[in-house]
């Protein structure tokens, strides 16, 4: 057997939690990984995994973390740089190489996972949840589908580029999907109707292209599921998401819970909104405006990071110190601009032990929700940086979204830093939007189940599926003269459907937990924050339901899990 390098001999090894010489994101340009060198390193790991004594297998796992660290950092950086400007040819070509390298690294990881899993009882010193996640990955991935995984990412990139190129003319000015946001929530109803009409005219114009992209993705994913021996891509998708302690029956039970408790509440919320706006009838273009004077306006985008620092200063010393370090190192990109990909996310540069936040601030109230949301993701990665193996630093999406959504609510006492005297209005809007999101979120998930249970459906049939979801979960939606929305095309704007199949339900599961933190914070904010920080420190060391219970939260799969939150929300909102 080829000797495995000692810990000190692993190239680039650093004590986890230390930061190397890079002091600012603009100075950061990690080296593209040498795939031949990586293959050689994995050969050594494979040999060690097969032959090392049982008591030393955890050391093999630690070294595996070290071997993959630089490569995953470069992949994350390459994808960030592309999303910062999708028009940059060099960045696009680098992202294409990253997709290829990511696929190869995924297969190298899979080989190692299978060798380790074959050791069975010898893995007693490895955390059981790590073994469970390897088992799920081994079931969802296989060398036989590696090339199609690359093709899948290529099609996803086509969708990202198309959405990044979207341009809407409103009153002689061009807008992108992100820069049009202020017009969609403009106090003047005529302006927001015109903006929505321009936006959805573009979707109608590109509808066939969007349908084709999704058709290709659906059939590609369904084919991979068949080759893996799965019943359908729903099974594959759950395994990809690392769900090891619940299945589709549990998710279906959760959707019914939302339908039972949140759809009636949603009707009342929309009716109260209609009354506040003084309208006879709410249309689709009215949904994003909650007060007759318009939504609260936050501090300008260039001031938002510092406003967040002041907010966290008054919330918690540890969170505040972490955030100021993020600012000092430039580990965030907040403003929207031409060519920048839409959305917001938080990624992680392993060999810097630091997260990076990507947003699209446009000067609207949702900027703050997104910024604090991503700050929650980032803080969790900081708080759990000591978790081992490092693969468990990051939880699955269902757990990770609790960290982000909960911080949104726990920051409520400090919202004056963003909104001044309008902070209370934002709290009302934030809670209302969160409650209304639950039916929308489960509609997106249910739609995806329908799609992947019938992968040969036509585009028209998929649009009909979405219409049926609106009727079940969003009965208040009135598209008016927005024909593409009325025809069942609204789902095409939701990038998760294209990019991250079956991710979206995680937001709703996490929001159920975040709302429990909100409920608790109304009685004892310090105790709620303490439990939140304890959850963040656990990282991804346990599966979803175990982590939820570890900090005293109810699982979304328990009957009646929403009753207390709904009752408190009705009282707080005066319904």
Question: What residue ranges do the domains of the chain occupy?
Answer: 8-126
Cα–Cα distances (Å) from 545 to 126, 252, 255, 540, in that order, read 20, 16, 17, 11
Helix (H), strand (E), coil (C) string for 155-214: HHHHHHHHHHHCCEEECCEEECCCCCHHHHCCCCHHHHHHHHHHHHHHHHHCHHHHHHHH
Whole-number average pLDDT of the chain: 92
Question: At residue 6, does pLDDT exceed 70?
Answer: no
Question: At residue 8, does pLDDT exceed 70?
Answer: no
Q: What is the pLDDT of residue 542?
A: 95
Question: At residue 35, does pLDDT exceed 60?
Answer: yes
Write the pLDDT tens digit of every residue in 426-461: 999 999 999 999 999 999 999 999 999 999 999 999
**Contact residues for 395 (Cβ-Cβ < 8 A; gap 6+):** 380, 403, 539, 540, 544, 547
* Percent of the chain with pLDDT strictly greater than 90: 85
Across the range 201-224, mean pLDDT stands at 97
Strand partners, 349: 354
The pTM score is 0.89
- 5-14, 368-377, 394-403: which has the minimum mean pLDDT? 5-14
Question: At residue 140, does pLDDT exceed 50?
Answer: yes
Across the range 301-319, mean pLDDT stands at 97
Measure the CA angle with vertex 314, ends 311 and 318; round to 5°.
95
Across the range 502-525, mean pLDDT stands at 96
What is the spatial distance between Cα 52 and Cα 62, in angstroms, rounded to a whole number? 13
Confidence of residue 164 (pLDDT cuts 50, 70, 90): confident
Q: What is the pLDDT of residue 568?
A: 96
b/e 182-209 (16+ beta carbons within 10 angstroms → b):
bbbbbeeeebbbbbbbbbbebbbebbee
């Amino acid at each position: 057997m080829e000797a495995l390098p000692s810990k000190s001999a692993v190239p680039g090894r650093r004590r986890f939690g230390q930061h190397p010489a890079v002091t600012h994101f603009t100075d950061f340009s990690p080296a593209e990984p040498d795939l031949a060198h990586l293959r050689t390193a994995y050969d050594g790991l494979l040999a060690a995994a097969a032959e090392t004594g049982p008591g030393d297998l955890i050391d093999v796992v630690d070294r595996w973390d070290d071997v993959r660290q630089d490569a995953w950092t470069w992949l994350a950086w390459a994808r960030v740089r592309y999303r910062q400007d999708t028009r940059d040819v060099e960045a696009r070509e680098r992202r294409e190489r990253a997709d290829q390298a990511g696929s190869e690294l995924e297969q190298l990881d899979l080989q190692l996972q299978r060798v380790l899993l074959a050791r069975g009882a010898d893995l007693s010193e490895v955390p059981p949840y790590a073994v469970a996640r390897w088992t799920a990955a081994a079931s969802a991935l296989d060398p036989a589908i590696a090339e199609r995984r690359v093709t899948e990412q290529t099609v996803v990139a086509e969708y990202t580029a198309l959405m990044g190129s979207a341009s809407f003319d409103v009153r002689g000015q061009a807008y992108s999907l992100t820069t049009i946001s202020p017009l969609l929530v403009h106090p003047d109803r005529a302006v927001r109707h015109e903006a929505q009409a321009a936006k959805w005219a573009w979707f109608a114009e590109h509808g066939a292209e969007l349908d084709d992209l999704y058709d290709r993705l659906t059939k590609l994913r369904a084919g991979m599921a068949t080759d893996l021996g799965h019943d359908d891509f729903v099974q594959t998708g759950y395994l990809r998401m690392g769900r090891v302690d619940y299945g589709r029956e549990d998710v279906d039970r959760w959707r019914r819970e939302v339908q039972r408790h949140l759809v009636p509440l949603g009707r009342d919320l929309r009716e109260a909104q209609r009354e506040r706006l003084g309208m006879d009838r709410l249309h689709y273009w009215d949904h994003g405006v909650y007060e007759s004077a318009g939504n609260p306006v936050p501090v300008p985008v260039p001031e938002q990071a510092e406003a967040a620092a002041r907010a966290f200063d008054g919330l918690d010393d540890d969170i505040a110190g972490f955030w100021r370090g993020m600012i000092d190192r430039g580990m965030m990109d907040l403003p929207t601009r031409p060519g920048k990909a839409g959305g917001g996310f938080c990624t992680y540069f392993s060999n810097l032990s630091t997260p990076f936040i990507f947003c699209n601030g446009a000067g609207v109230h949702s900027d703050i929700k997104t910024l604090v949301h991503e700050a929650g993701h980032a803080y969790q990665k900081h708080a759990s940086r000591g978790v081992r193996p490092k693969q468990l630093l990051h939880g699955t999406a269902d757990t990770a979204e609790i960290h982000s959504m909960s911080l949104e609510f726990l920051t409520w006492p400090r919202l004056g830093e963003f909104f001044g005297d309008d902070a209370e209005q934002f709290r009302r809007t934030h809670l209302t939007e969160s409650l209304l999101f639950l039916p929308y979120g489960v509609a997106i998930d249910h739609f995806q189940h329908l799609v992947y249970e019938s992968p040969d459906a036509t585009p028209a049939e998929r649009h009909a599926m979405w219409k049926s979801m609106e009727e079940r979960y969003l009965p208040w939606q009135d598209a008016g003269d927005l024909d593409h929305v009325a025809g069942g095309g609204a789902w095409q704007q939701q990038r998760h459907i294209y990019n991250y199949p079956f991710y979206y339900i995680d937001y709703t599961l996490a929001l159920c937990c975040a709302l429990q933190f909100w409920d608790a914070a109304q009685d004892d904010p310090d105790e709620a924050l303490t439990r939140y920080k304890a959850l963040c420190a656990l990282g991804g060391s346990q599966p979803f339901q175990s982590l939820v219970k570890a900090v005293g939260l109810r699982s979304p799969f328990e009957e009646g899990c929403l009753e207390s939150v709904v009752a408190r929300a009705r009282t707080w909102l005066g319904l």
